[in-house]
Chain A
Amino acid sequence: MTLTIVLLGAAALIGIGLYGALSQQSFVMLMMGLELMLNGALLAVVGFWSQGLAGMPEGQLLAIIVMAVMAVEMALGFALVVAVYRRRQADMTKSIGTLKE
Chain B
Amino acid sequence: MRDAFVIALVLFAVWTGWRVFRVDSMVRASFSLMLSFFAVGAIGVLLSAPYIGVATVFMMAVEMMVMAIFMVMFMMNPAGLNPMSMVHQHRLSIGAGAAAFAALAAAALLSELPDAPVPTDKAVVADLGHELLGPSMLIFETAGVTLLATMVGAVILSSRQGRYGMADQGSRPPGLEPGGEPAGRQPDESGGGHHHDHGGHG
Which residues of A line the B interface, CB within 8 A? 1-20, 22-29, 31-33, 35-36, 39, 42-43, 46-55, 57-58, 60-61, 63-65, 67-68, 70-72, 74-76, 78-83, 85-92, 94-95, 97-98, 100-101
Contacts and interface: CB of A to CB of B under 8 A. Distances in A.
Given A17-B17, A55-B48, A55-B122, 4 more contacts: A7-B108, A53-B118, A64-B132, A70-B59
A39 B17 contact: yes
Nearest to B190: A98
B107 to A, nearest CB: 8
Given A36-B20, A61-B139, A71-B59, A78 B196 contact: no
A68 B7 CA distance: 27
For chain B, which range describes its interface: under 10, 10 to 19, 20 to 34, or 35 or more residues? 35 or more
25 contacts: A2-B3, A4-B113, A5-B3, A11-B108, A12-B105, A16-B20, A18-B93, A19-B94, A20-B97, A23-B88, A24-B21, A26-B75, A32-B30, A36-B33, A39-B40, A55-B118, A60-B51, A68-B147, A72-B150, A89-B195, A90-B194, A91-B75, A100-B185, A101-B187, A101-B192
B132 to A, nearest CB: 7
Contacts of A98: 188, 190-191
Given A2-B6, A47-B47, A100-B188, A52 B97 contact: no
A87 B34 CA distance: 30
Chain A residues touching B, majority SS: helix
Given A6-B43, A15-B97, A39-B36, A32 B143 contact: no
B27 interface: no
Contact of A28 (B67, B187, B191, B194): B67
Interface string B120-158: 001010011011100000010001001100110111111
B101 interface: yes
Interface string B1-33: 011001100110110011011000000011001
